[in-house]
């Protein structure tokens, strides 16, 4: 008799506890899921940032229109590099991850290399060759540093447990 009474009391307490939790949450909402309005605002915000990057690129490129020769080419490469870096930074902001951080670092290294290479075009002969080799060496060093930095980060992360692994002697 006492066991039945305890069982009924436990079941009743459990039932009342779950309904209280359900009553605290509004139906159809969850703290984990962003609302439709939030997603829409985020989309609008990202679109505005993307348009700003494009406008900045067009403005920087317009400044180059008054220039001539290699000076114009250098200016154009700088504008294009800034645009690529800004787009990579936007992607990293939207989806923060080590991979996107690395893409930002790569974009910066590539932009610096493109500008340095273009500046070498003003030179002639051995001076130009030396300038290009120096730019290439700096670029290669920057890329190596990036690889090294992100390889260290990868080693520092804790190893993830294998999912779906079977133990010896068992089958799925």
List the chain domain ranges. Answer: 42-153
- Determine the pLDDT at residue 42: 79
- Determine the pLDDT at residue 23: 46
135 in Cβ contact with 120 (< 8 Å): yes
pLDDT of residue 11 exceeding 70, the answer is: no
Give percent of the chain above pLDDT 70: 66
pLDDT of residue 21 exceeding 50, the answer is: no
Confidence band, pLDDT 50/70/90 cuts, at residue 43: confident
pLDDT of residue 85 exceeding 90, the answer is: yes
pLDDT of residue 104 exceeding 80, the answer is: yes
Residues 127, 135, 151, CA angle at the centre, nearest 5°? 160
What's the full length of the chain, in residues? 172
pLDDT digits (tens, 9 = 90+) for 124-151: 999 999 999 999 999 999 999 999 988 8
Using CA atoms, how far residue 27 sits from 16, 19, 22, 30, in Å, is 18, 12, 8, 8
Other C-beta atoms closer than 10 Å to the C-beta of 46 total 14
């Amino acid at each position: 008799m006492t066991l039945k009474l305890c069982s009924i009391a436990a079941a009743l307490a459990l039932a009342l506890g779950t309904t209280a939790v359900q009553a605290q949450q509004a139906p159809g909402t969850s703290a984990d899921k962003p609302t439709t309005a939030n997603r829409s605002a985020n989309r609008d915000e990202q679109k505005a940032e993307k348009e700003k990057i494009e406008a900045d690129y067009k403005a920087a490129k317009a400044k180059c229109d008054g220039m001539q020769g290699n000076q114009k080419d250098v200016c154009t490469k700088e504008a294009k590099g800034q645009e690529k870096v800004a787009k990579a930074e936007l992607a990293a902001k939207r989806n923060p991850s080590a991979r996107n951080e690395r893409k930002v670092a790569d974009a910066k290294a590539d932009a610096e290399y493109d500008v340095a290479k273009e500046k070498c075009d003003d030179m002639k002969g051995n001076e130009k060759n030396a300038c290009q080799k120096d730019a290439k060496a700096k670029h290669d060093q920057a890329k190596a540093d990036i690889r090294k930095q992100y390889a260290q980060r990868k080693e520092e992360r804790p190893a993830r447990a294998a999912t779906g692994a079977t133990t010896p002697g068992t089958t799925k």
